[in-house]
Protein backbone atom coordinates (compact mmCIF):
# COMPACT_ATOMS: atom_id res chain seq x y z
CA UNK A 1 0.00 0.00 0.00
CA UNK A 2 1.11 3.58 -0.59
CA UNK A 3 1.43 6.44 1.84
CA UNK A 4 -2.04 8.13 1.96
CA UNK A 5 -0.87 11.19 3.89
CA UNK A 6 2.04 11.71 1.57
CA UNK A 7 -0.20 11.30 -1.46
CA UNK A 8 -2.68 13.86 -0.16
CA UNK A 9 0.07 16.36 0.55
CA UNK A 10 1.70 15.87 -2.85
CA UNK A 11 -1.70 16.36 -4.49
CA UNK A 12 -2.09 19.66 -2.63
CA UNK A 13 1.35 21.16 -3.20
CA UNK A 14 2.32 19.42 -6.42
CA UNK A 15 4.75 16.65 -7.29
CA UNK A 16 8.42 16.69 -6.43
CA UNK A 17 10.52 18.75 -8.80
CA UNK A 18 12.44 16.36 -11.01
CA UNK A 19 15.23 18.90 -11.53
CA UNK A 20 18.29 18.01 -9.51
CA UNK A 21 18.95 14.88 -7.45
CA UNK A 22 17.24 14.44 -4.12
CA UNK A 23 19.56 14.29 -1.16
CA UNK A 24 18.94 13.61 2.53
CA UNK A 25 18.15 16.59 4.72
CA UNK A 26 20.98 17.58 7.05
CA UNK A 27 19.03 19.73 9.48
CA UNK A 28 19.29 16.92 12.02
CA UNK A 29 23.08 17.19 11.86
CA UNK A 30 22.87 20.95 12.36
CA UNK A 31 20.63 20.47 15.38
CA UNK A 32 22.95 17.86 16.87
CA UNK A 33 25.86 20.21 16.32
CA UNK A 34 24.02 22.95 18.16
CA UNK A 35 23.59 20.65 21.17
CA UNK A 36 27.16 19.33 21.38
CA UNK A 37 30.05 20.51 23.50
CA UNK A 38 31.16 23.08 20.94
CA UNK A 39 27.98 24.96 21.91
CA UNK A 40 26.91 26.37 18.57
CA UNK A 41 24.51 29.19 19.22
CA UNK A 42 21.02 29.77 17.85
CA UNK A 43 22.53 32.04 15.20
CA UNK A 44 24.71 29.18 13.91
CA UNK A 45 21.72 26.88 13.75
CA UNK A 46 19.69 29.47 11.84
CA UNK A 47 22.58 29.94 9.41
CA UNK A 48 22.74 26.18 8.86
CA UNK A 49 18.99 26.07 8.19
CA UNK A 50 19.26 29.02 5.77
CA UNK A 51 22.11 27.38 3.87
CA UNK A 52 20.15 24.12 3.65
CA UNK A 53 17.14 25.96 2.20
CA UNK A 54 19.34 27.85 -0.28
CA UNK A 55 21.03 24.64 -1.42
CA UNK A 56 17.62 22.98 -1.90
CA UNK A 57 16.29 25.90 -3.96
CA UNK A 58 19.34 26.22 -6.23
CA UNK A 59 18.54 25.18 -9.78
CA UNK A 60 14.85 24.49 -9.25
CA UNK A 61 12.17 25.99 -11.50
CA UNK A 62 10.47 29.06 -10.01
CA UNK A 63 7.58 29.54 -12.44
CA UNK A 64 4.79 27.35 -11.10
CA UNK A 65 5.92 28.03 -7.55
CA UNK A 66 5.73 31.77 -8.20
CA UNK A 67 2.12 31.44 -9.36
CA UNK A 68 1.24 29.40 -6.28
CA UNK A 69 2.89 31.95 -4.00
CA UNK A 70 1.01 34.74 -5.78
CA UNK A 71 -2.24 32.94 -4.99
CA UNK A 72 -1.23 32.58 -1.33
CA UNK A 73 -0.57 36.32 -1.23
CA UNK A 74 -3.97 37.01 -2.76
CA UNK A 75 -5.76 34.60 -0.41
CA UNK A 76 -4.17 36.06 2.69
CA UNK A 77 -4.88 39.65 1.69
CA UNK A 78 -8.46 38.75 0.72
CA UNK A 79 -9.02 37.24 4.16
CA UNK A 80 -7.69 40.36 5.84
CA UNK A 81 -9.60 42.70 3.54
CA UNK A 82 -12.91 40.92 4.17
CA UNK A 83 -12.39 41.17 7.93
CA UNK A 84 -13.43 38.77 10.68
CA UNK A 85 -17.03 38.71 9.52
CA UNK A 86 -16.17 38.48 5.83
CA UNK A 87 -17.37 35.81 3.43
CA UNK A 88 -14.11 35.15 1.54
CA UNK A 89 -13.07 31.49 1.39
CA UNK A 90 -9.78 30.31 -0.07
CA UNK A 91 -8.99 27.10 -1.95
CA UNK A 92 -8.06 25.61 1.41
CA UNK A 93 -11.49 26.23 2.98
CA UNK A 94 -13.05 22.93 1.93
CA UNK A 95 -10.25 20.69 3.18
CA UNK A 96 -9.95 22.78 6.35
CA UNK A 97 -13.66 22.27 7.05
CA UNK A 98 -13.34 18.54 6.40
CA UNK A 99 -10.54 18.19 8.94
CA UNK A 100 -12.48 20.41 11.38
CA UNK A 101 -15.45 18.05 11.28
CA UNK A 102 -13.17 15.01 11.50
CA UNK A 103 -11.63 16.51 14.63
CA UNK A 104 -15.05 16.60 16.29
CA UNK A 105 -15.46 12.90 15.57
CA UNK A 106 -11.96 11.96 16.79
CA UNK A 107 -12.31 13.89 20.06
CA UNK A 108 -15.96 12.99 20.67
CA UNK A 109 -15.09 10.29 23.17
CA UNK A 110 -13.40 12.77 25.51
CA UNK A 111 -16.52 14.72 26.48
CA UNK A 112 -18.33 17.78 25.16
CA UNK A 113 -15.56 20.33 25.74
CA UNK A 114 -12.87 18.31 23.97
CA UNK A 115 -15.30 17.36 21.22
CA UNK A 116 -15.95 21.05 20.51
CA UNK A 117 -12.26 21.93 20.73
CA UNK A 118 -11.21 18.93 18.64
CA UNK A 119 -12.32 20.32 15.31
CA UNK A 120 -10.50 23.58 15.89
CA UNK A 121 -7.38 21.75 17.05
CA UNK A 122 -7.24 19.36 14.09
CA UNK A 123 -7.68 22.11 11.49
CA UNK A 124 -4.46 23.66 12.82
CA UNK A 125 -2.56 20.42 13.46
CA UNK A 126 -2.98 19.01 9.94
CA UNK A 127 -1.29 21.86 7.97
CA UNK A 128 1.45 21.96 10.63
CA UNK A 129 1.98 18.20 10.33
CA UNK A 130 1.97 18.50 6.53
CA UNK A 131 4.76 21.10 6.71
CA UNK A 132 6.84 18.85 8.99
CA UNK A 133 6.23 15.87 6.69
CA UNK A 134 7.28 17.76 3.58
CA UNK A 135 10.43 19.07 5.23
CA UNK A 136 11.63 15.91 6.93
CA UNK A 137 10.41 13.29 4.44
CA UNK A 138 10.45 15.15 1.11
CA UNK A 139 12.99 17.86 1.92
CA UNK A 140 10.66 20.37 0.26
CA UNK A 141 11.22 23.86 1.64
CA UNK A 142 8.68 25.45 -0.68
CA UNK A 143 6.12 22.93 0.51
CA UNK A 144 6.70 24.30 4.01
CA UNK A 145 5.84 27.77 2.69
CA UNK A 146 2.63 26.48 1.09
CA UNK A 147 1.58 24.63 4.23
CA UNK A 148 2.31 27.77 6.22
CA UNK A 149 -0.06 29.64 3.93
CA UNK A 150 -2.66 26.92 4.52
CA UNK A 151 -2.15 27.22 8.28
CA UNK A 152 -2.56 31.00 8.05
CA UNK A 153 -5.87 30.70 6.20
CA UNK A 154 -7.00 28.13 8.77
CA UNK A 155 -6.20 30.60 11.54
CA UNK A 156 -8.14 33.32 9.70
CA UNK A 157 -11.12 30.96 9.40
CA UNK A 158 -10.84 30.12 13.08
CA UNK A 159 -10.69 33.81 14.02
CA UNK A 160 -13.90 34.44 12.09
CA UNK A 161 -15.58 31.52 13.84
CA UNK A 162 -14.56 32.77 17.29
CA UNK A 163 -15.70 36.31 16.45
CA UNK A 164 -19.09 34.91 15.43
CA UNK A 165 -19.71 33.55 18.95
CA UNK A 166 -21.62 36.73 19.85
CA UNK A 167 -23.33 37.13 16.48
CA UNK A 168 -24.24 33.58 15.41
CA UNK A 169 -24.39 34.59 11.76
CA UNK A 170 -22.24 31.83 10.25
CA UNK A 171 -23.99 28.75 8.85
CA UNK A 172 -23.16 25.69 10.94
CA UNK A 173 -22.17 22.29 9.56
CA UNK A 174 -22.58 19.09 11.56
CA UNK A 175 -24.42 15.86 12.12
CA UNK A 176 -27.98 15.99 13.42
CA UNK A 177 -30.38 18.87 13.84
CA UNK A 178 -29.06 20.46 17.03
CA UNK A 179 -25.64 21.62 15.86
CA UNK A 180 -23.68 23.54 18.49
CA UNK A 181 -21.65 26.64 17.71
CA UNK A 182 -18.24 25.60 19.05
CA UNK A 183 -17.13 28.94 20.39
CA UNK A 184 -20.49 30.26 21.55
CA UNK A 185 -20.79 27.11 23.67
CA UNK A 186 -17.17 27.01 24.88
CA UNK A 187 -16.99 30.70 25.80
CA UNK A 188 -20.42 30.69 27.41
CA UNK A 189 -19.48 27.70 29.57
CA UNK A 190 -16.24 29.47 30.54
CA UNK A 191 -18.05 32.78 31.20
CA UNK A 192 -15.83 34.44 28.59
CA UNK A 193 -18.34 35.20 25.85
CA UNK A 194 -17.72 38.95 26.19
CA UNK A 195 -14.06 38.31 25.31
CA UNK A 196 -14.83 36.58 22.01
CA UNK A 197 -13.63 39.46 19.86
CA UNK A 198 -10.38 39.80 21.84
CA UNK A 199 -9.65 36.11 21.34
CA UNK A 200 -10.59 36.40 17.67
CA UNK A 201 -8.22 39.33 17.17
CA UNK A 202 -5.39 37.43 18.86
CA UNK A 203 -6.01 34.42 16.59
CA UNK A 204 -6.08 36.69 13.56
CA UNK A 205 -2.80 38.27 14.67
CA UNK A 206 -1.18 34.83 14.90
CA UNK A 207 -2.50 34.10 11.42
CA UNK A 208 -0.93 37.31 10.11
CA UNK A 209 2.43 36.33 11.62
CA UNK A 210 2.30 32.86 10.04
CA UNK A 211 1.14 34.38 6.74
CA UNK A 212 4.03 36.86 6.69
CA UNK A 213 6.60 34.22 7.61
CA UNK A 214 5.35 31.80 4.96
CA UNK A 215 5.43 34.49 2.28
CA UNK A 216 8.92 35.58 3.31
CA UNK A 217 10.17 31.99 3.09
CA UNK A 218 8.55 31.47 -0.29
CA UNK A 219 9.92 34.72 -1.71
CA UNK A 220 13.42 33.96 -0.42
CA UNK A 221 13.34 30.53 -2.07
CA UNK A 222 12.07 31.99 -5.36
CA UNK A 223 14.84 34.58 -5.25
CA UNK A 224 17.45 31.83 -5.01
CA UNK A 225 15.80 29.88 -7.85
CA UNK A 226 15.72 32.90 -10.16
CA UNK A 227 19.27 33.91 -9.30
CA UNK A 228 20.73 30.46 -9.94
CA UNK A 229 18.77 30.11 -13.18
CA UNK A 230 20.07 33.48 -14.34
CA UNK A 231 23.64 32.57 -13.45
CA UNK A 232 23.34 29.27 -15.30
CA UNK A 233 22.03 31.10 -18.37
CA UNK A 234 24.98 33.49 -18.28
CA UNK A 235 27.47 30.63 -18.00
CA UNK A 236 26.00 28.90 -21.06
CA UNK A 237 25.99 32.03 -23.23
Least confident interval from 13-27, 111-125, 155-169, 223-237 = 13-27
Which pLDDT score, from 0 to 100, does residue 134 have?
93
Q: Are 139 and 25 in contact (CB under 8 A)?
A: yes
Least confident interval from 5-19, 55-69, 137-151, 179-193 = 5-19
Higher pLDDT, 155 or 139: 155
Which pLDDT score, from 0 to 100, does residue 227 have?
85
Alpha-carbon dihedral sign for residues 142, 148, 153, 157:
positive
With pLDDT > 70 as the criterion, what percentage of the chain qualifies? 77
Distance CA 147, CA 140 (A): 11
From 46, 45, 98, 91, select the one nearest 70 (Cα to Cα). 91
pLDDT of 155 > 90? The answer is yes
Amino acid sequence: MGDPLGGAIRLLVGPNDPSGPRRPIHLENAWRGACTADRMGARDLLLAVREDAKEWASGKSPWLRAMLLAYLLYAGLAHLWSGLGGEYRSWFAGITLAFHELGHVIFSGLGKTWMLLGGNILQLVIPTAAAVYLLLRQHDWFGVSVCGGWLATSLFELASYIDDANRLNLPLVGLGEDVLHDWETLLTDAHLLNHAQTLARATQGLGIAVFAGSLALGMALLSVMWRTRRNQAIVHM
